[in-house]
Structure formats: C-alpha cells, structure tokens
Amino acid sequence: MAATAKRGTKPVFKTARPYTETDWPDLTAQQKRDTTDLVCSLLQPLGDYRKTHLSPSKGKKRRRESQKEKNEDADKSTPNTPPPPPEISHHILIGLNSVTRHLESLAAHTAPPSAPSHAKADAPPPDATPPRPLSIVLIPHNHPPASLPHAHIPTLVHLCTMTSQKDKAIRLLAVPPGCEPAIAEALHIPHVGALAIFEGAPGADALVAYVREHVAVTRCAWIEEAMGPEWKDTKIQDK
C-alpha cells in the first residue's frame, strides 16, 4: 500500500509595520551595574530621610481607629517638626505617571508640529513657562516594547530631544527589572515604575557625565518617516 501523501502545510501570513523600529541604547552588564550604583548613591539621602522622618502608611482603617488616640495625645505631647527633605527631592520625578506627564508637557514645547496648519491651535501660549528639562529617564525594563506600561516612554523621550543638542539630549536608561529593588530600597519605597532626573540636579554631575558618555540617544526613526510624504506599504511576511 502506497504511503499516504503528506498534506501541504497552509502558509501563514503576518503583517508588520513598514516603519523603522525604535532604537534605544542597549547597556552592557558593567554599564548597568555602574549606572545603578550611581543612581542609588544619588537617591540614598532621600531614602534615609524617608526612613527616619516619614511613617509608612498603615491603611485608612488603622488611621481612623488611631485618630481618637492621636487627638487625645495631641495636648500631652508637642509634635516635632521634621527637617526639610534633601535638596535632591526637588530635582527628581518618581513614578510612571509623573514621568509620563512631564515628558508629554516637554514634548509639546519642543517637538515640531506634524501639521503646520494647526500649529497655532496646538502651540502653547508664547508667555507660557516651558517645563524643566530632564537629563535622565530611567525605567526598570530593558525591552520597553515588551512592557505595555513602558512602551510609550522611548517615543516621548525622542520627541523631547528632536530639537535638542546631542550633548544635552535626554538619555533613556532601560535597565533590567532586577535593578529595581536596589533603586526602590535606596528611595525607601516599595516600587519604582519610572524615575526622571532634572537637568542640573545637585549631586548628579557624576551620574549625568557617565550616562552621556556611555549611553547613546534614543532614536525613533519612524516618526520622521511617518511625517514624510513617502508612501509606505504594509509588510507581509510568508511563513
């Protein structure tokens, strides 16, 4: 009996974007360790302040139960006013939402308009104060497109640096998730979704100099390609 003829496999078609993928800097293992150590050293005074002078939250229910006791003890004890936080606390942004909002605001002032006819409607007022420039943006994920919460960060960083000088452009540090516990411990907080450091932050000169020397600028070539007049066909892959 003749062997049964092998059935032909059905081809699988996949589509891909016709634009160039985002290119963000890939750090070596040594660079990841060095940048993490420098970031932790910069943030450690703020973490020590939080640990010494700020009490961790114990939940609303616990606060309600202890509010009466606090009111009764208020007359018996004089509250101690904590000292002001370290200066670095005024020169950083902590949290993915805070970093995203500032990048969006910064991009609105620096990125060129995609539609010149609508530039006047979308442009900020001439007397509006521009947002403070950033020197470093750090996210605890070394492959942003694979992380839904961080996928937009490289694009925003690129938009913020399109009109900046290369030596002053924002550097994106996409570090592995394993670096996050050390940074969170330095800040004395449970989690760090993102971190941004303002330009001219006190005590950050060594970190900024190292990063600008070893970390390249993030590039999103697809933005320029999408703004151009050239038609881009959809890429179809036969597998």
Q: pLDDT, tens digit, for every residue of 28-57?
A: 899 999 999 999 999 999 999 999 987 765
Identity of residue 134: L
Say if residue 68's pLDDT is above 60: no
Measured in whole angstroms, how far is the alpha carbon of residue 29 from the centre of its chain? Answer: 20
Identity of residue 122: D
Tokens of 65: 């139960």
Q: In percent, how much of the chain has pLDDT > 70?
A: 69
User: Bigger pLDDT: 122 or 87?
Assistant: 87
3-state helix, strand, coil in the chain (%, to 5): 45, 10, 40
Amino acid 55: pLDDT = 73
Amino acid 218: pLDDT = 86
**CA 193, 198, 199, 200 torsion-angle sign:** negative
Say if residue 69's pLDDT is above 80: no
Say if residue 24's pLDDT is above 90: no
Q: What is the pTM of this model?
A: 0.75
Say if residue 14's pLDDT is above 70: no
Say if residue 219's pLDDT is above 80: yes
Q: CB-based burial of residue 154 (10 Å sphere; 0-12 exposed, 13-18 middle, 19+ buried)?
A: buried
User: Bigger pLDDT: 61 or 104?
Assistant: 104
Q: Which of 37-41, 45-49, 59-63, 79-83 is predicted with the least confidence, judged by mean pLDDT?
A: 59-63
Domains annotated for the chain, with CATH where assigned, are 19-52+96-111+132-228 (3.30.1330)
Of the candidates 103, 89, 90, 102, which has an alpha carbon nearest to the alpha carbon of residue 189? Answer: 89
7 Rama sector, left if φ>0, alpha if ψ -120 to 50, beta otherwise: beta
Tokens of 22: 């985002």
- Token pair 């160039």 in the structure block, residue: 20
Q: What is the DSSP letter of 199?
A: T
